[in-house]
Amino acid sequence: MQPLRYVILGAGGIARHHVDQYNNQPDMKVVGFLDIKPDVLARWKERFPDAVVETDVDRLLAQTRPDVASVCTPNYAHASLTIKALEAGCHVLCEKPMAMNLAEAEAMEKARVKAKKLGAINFSYRNVTTFRLAREIIRAGELGQLQRVNVRYLQSFLGASTQFVWRNDIKEAGFGALGDLGVHMLDGVAFVAGLQPVRLVGNMQTLIPTKPDADGKPRKVTTDTNASWIIEYEGGVIGTFETSQVVPGYGNFFHMEISGDKGLLRVCSEDNENIILYTGQTLTRYGTWRRENFPKITVPSGFADQQPKSTMESFVKAIRGEKVEYATFADGIMSQRCLAALLESIKTGRWAKV
């Protein structure tokens, strides 16, 4: 098998996950890293001495001629780097959110079509076995006619005691909790329940007005720290959503509950081995006053063993011609449409069409 040569565009933070997951696949070779920080590039050079390290994307792409590029930069550079990589002949896996706005996302897809390459978005919860099992249960009709969705995604890592980072700057991030966590929520419902949004209404807040930067100087927080919204889906299903990056005590809490006329299921990032499943004519005839009485089932090992472990795994297989499913640029655009509609709703105070 011919090795696939890949580059990492944006070598900090999440880049380590991309490299590790690519290298878990057979016949993958990292050939280059792009970043604006010399110390970051130096660390990668020490680990991969043969790789090219660069601060200029054009030079990197010209020197390495890669097959695949992962875009792992802050959000403001997603579109420009993705388009450059596509024009250089790369398949591209981009971190979420796909772009700063809908127009950028659509330009990325246009460039992908023109280049005749594959494009993926790293909606990583699609690879969590509990979420994938929940999807199978819903597809089998075990919840009946879907009626409601409730999704919460809460974190504390950008709380008041933390330093100002790029995620607090709207010019670099585009969004706060909405872009970082909200897109996982939107894509999660689309993936697990197969629901298509029709319209939405919502609000967002910036609860921490300023934070100290690395030098101790106060910086204005210009992104949302909290957001909540309601979506009406096709078929009349109503979804309620809440997200925050500043709730004390929550490390990474992604909760999704979906119910229909024949049952209920619940998945949570804090338990990636079990799901709550309340179905069956006998059981659903009765309510319970104690939440802990909801039946919990463990994901069968036979099911878990068959699931992809990462977006990189699925994307590499797709590039090599295997028939696998992964989050495409079209999926990223759908989340961007929802974010655009949400901004419109916040501006007007009314429902907005997706």
Class of domain 4-117: alpha beta
Q: Architecture of 130-308+329-353 per CATH? A: 2-Layer Sandwich (3.30)
CB 254 within 8 A of CB 269: yes
pLDDT in tens, 182-193: 999 999 999 999
Look at residue 56 and tell me whether its pLDDT is greater than 80: yes
What are the structural domain ranges in the chain? 4-117, 130-308+329-353
Asked if 4-117 and 130-308+329-353 have one fold, the answer is no
Q: What are the backbone dihedrals phi and psi of residue 262, each rounded to the nearest 5 degrees, phi first?
A: -120, 5
Look at residue 1 and tell me whether its pLDDT is greater than 90: no
The mean pLDDT of the chain is 97
40 vs 15, 47, 169, 218, 291, CA distance in Å? 11, 11, 21, 26, 47
CB 264 within 8 A of CB 138: no
pLDDT-derived band at 287 (thresholds 50, 70, 90) equals confident
